[in-house]
Structure 1
């Protein structure tokens, strides 16, 4: 296991340089804890967790659409980069919570990510959009 992934899975908010990517081919949308979408098979997303791109503590989390480029904005970014740090660890999951703001002053604390792992690799991720009561569970 690389040192960055080890830092993430052990709950460090001061990780080594690097990143980890989780590739998903299926996701489920929950609204207020209720499954509202069923499985979205063959819907490819990539969750990228990297050392904070702005420096300091924590991580930057970005989600990409791996099915192609968006016709309006010309890239495949599904969720723009969000600053997050570890707020809780429970056996085989690490909870990240957004902090700070973007350049327009939009707060990142409305976002979170729970990373589930088996001790050596990520097995699923859940994006939390707290303000909307929405969770997106990304599966392999």
Structure 2
């Protein structure tokens, strides 16, 4: 019996199309040694992508949709793992890693289960067998993605409107706005350093109300929203930062 004899026939086609399968989650649970951790991951957008060209070898990649641009390809959290199909039934599809990467690390330490309900995938579990860790990703609610997209677009429009008005202002008025926004941002930093994140967020937002292109305040908001698990707001602040970088501001 060969090393990979337990794998299914290479001619078997999975019951769900995995040629380029994408699954987006906005909530996940980490289980270590069979026990769930207490972390609150609601709003943490993650993307799982499975690709194959022949239904023999499957390539699994994990993305962090909260970092940088929330689009495929710009935010890889887990590098691509090569896997094979080991089980496919009415309830789930199981993939198991095999072979090694360029550094010699074993793909067999990883696995993926696609949980099915009425023929559709409603949950995905990433297995890290060497650490006895399973991470269960629940399917993202459509309203969460719509809210994130809508918020990002409105934030960009806010910056565009401000810049159009800002260009027409006298130099002394521009300087006054810059001083006021920096002062509010620095007060926010003082609150943050004293472990008062709530008031820090309030002052960072006040700084942005009068000067939406204050990149320091936006960077600080990203940190605060990440620490308070407010991932939708974090995406908004990060998207504004990315837009400012695009403009060269």
Normalising by the residue count of structure 2, what TM-score does the alignment of the two structures yield? 0.46
Q: CA deviation at 1:128?
A: 0.3
Quote the RMSD (CA, aligned, Å). Answer: 2.2
Question: Residue 15 of structure 2 corresponds to which residue in structure 1?
Answer: 9
Cα distance in 1, alignment partners of residues 25 and 66 from structure 2: 11
Deviates more, 1:127-136 or 1:85-94: 85-94
- After TM superposition, the structure 1 = structure 2 runs for residues 57-68 of structure 1, keeping only pairs within 5 Å, are 57-68=56-67
Task: Name stretches of at least 5 consecutive residues in structure 2 with no aligned partner.
Answer: 1-12, 140-249
Tell me the secondary structure at the aligned position of residue 43 of structure 2.
Answer: coil
After superposing on structure 2, the runs of 4+ consecutive aligned residues of structure 1 that deviate more than 4 Å are none
Larger strand proportion of the pair: 1
Matching residue of 1:27: 28
Per chain length, whose mean CA-contact separation is higher, i.e. which structure has more relative contact order (CA < 8 Å, sep 6+)?
A: 1
The answer (yes or no) to whether the contact 1:9–1:119 under 8 Å persists in 2 is no
2:138 corresponds in structure 1 to 139
- Relative to its length, the structure with more helix (as a share) is 2
- C-alpha deviations, 1:56-84, integer Å up to 9, x for none? 822000010000139xxxx4111110001
Compute the displacement of 1:37 (Å). 3.0
CA distance in 2, matches of 1:105, 1:60: 17
Number of residue pairs aligned between Structure 1 and Structure 2: 123
Q: If you compute each CA radius of gyration, which structure gives the higher value, 1 or 2?
A: 2
Could you say which residue in structure 1 is the equivalent of 2:128? Answer: 129
Q: Does 1:118 align with 2:117?
A: yes
Is there any run of 5+ residues in structure 1 with no aligned partner, and where?
Answer: 1-6
